Amino acid sequence: MNIEITNLTKKYGAKTVFENYSNTLEINGILLVKGSSGCGKTTLMKMIAGLEDYNGEISVPTDRISFMFQEDRLIPFISVLKNVTAVSDSETAKKILRKLVLEKEFDSPPLSLSGGMRRRAALARALSYPSDLVILDEPFKGLDDALRQTIIEIIKEESKLRDFIIVTHESFDGEFEDGKILYL
């Protein structure tokens, strides 16, 4: 999948984040987006997903986009399983939650979970949605090395079926060796 960006301009009041930015994002599996804090990584992802207004053009060849925000954004008064089935069927939700080692938490409300568990529940929701493009904004935040590695393997497996854009500050030492990197 290629995303065409032409003359993109985005401002927040007097602050210009992008000015006449043009690029072709070639994904075909996994694209890592890196850059310093405040350079516009999250803003660009929101514009690609259609969640932010902008001037210019962004051409995305699908409207089936799943988005995992930096904040978990789980619905606090329903169970983890219901949070995931809000975007998916029960069978898919349970399968993904099991992969993310959350099978014991199906009936737990998000507020009873640790930060890493909430992060994985948010990831499960993003992965469960039947999308062509999955945008993950800092998906490894708050995870230990073992869980991080498990999630990397899940993403690599899923990227054979659909494309991923991953915004991260992490170093991967070859773990996404087939992926491309966009530096902003």
Return the CATH number at 23.
3.40.50.300
Contacts of 38 (CB under 8 A, 6+ apart): none
Q: Is there a single domain that holds both residue 92 and residue 44?
A: no
- What gap in Å lies between CA 22 and CA 4, rounded to an integer? 8
Whole-structure pTM value:
0.94
Q: Is the confidence at residue 61, as pLDDT, over 90?
A: yes
Q: Is there a single domain that holds both residue 54 and residue 137?
A: yes
Q: Is the confidence at residue 44, as pLDDT, over 90?
A: yes
DSSP states of 116-150:
HHHHHHHHHHHHHS--SEEEEESTTTT--HHHHHH
Q: Is there a single domain that holds both residue 36 and residue 58?
A: yes
Q: Which amino acid does the sequence have at 20?
A: N
Q: Is there a single domain that holds both residue 124 and residue 171?
A: no
Q: Confidence band (pLDDT; 50, 70, 90) for 21?
A: very high
Q: Is there a single domain that holds both residue 94 and residue 7?
A: no
User: How high is the pLDDT of residue 141?
Assistant: 87
The domain tally of the chain equals: 2
User: How high is the pLDDT of residue 142?
Assistant: 83
Contacts of 94 (CB under 8 A, 6+ apart): 81, 103, 106
Q: Is the confidence at residue 175, as pLDDT, over 60?
A: yes
Q: Which pair of tokens denotes residue 158?
A: 């899923």
Structural domain of residue 13, as residue ranges? 1-64+131-184
Q: Which amino acid does the sequence have at 151?
A: I
User: How high is the pLDDT of residue 177?
Assistant: 65
DSSP state of 172: -
Q: Is there a single domain that holds both residue 138 and residue 126?
A: no
Q: Confidence band (pLDDT; 50, 70, 90) for 173?
A: low
Q: Is the confidence at residue 172, as pLDDT, over 60?
A: yes
Q: Confidence band (pLDDT; 50, 70, 90) for 174?
A: low
Q: Is there a single domain that holds both residue 51 and residue 9?
A: yes
Q: Is there a single domain that holds both residue 4 and residue 59?
A: yes
Per the model's pLDDT, the better-predicted residue between 59 and 142 turns out to be: 59
- What gap in Å lies between CA 32 and CA 25, rounded to an integer? 10
Q: What is the mean pLDDT of residues 149-157?
A: 93
Q: Is there a single domain that holds both residue 60 and residue 136?
A: yes
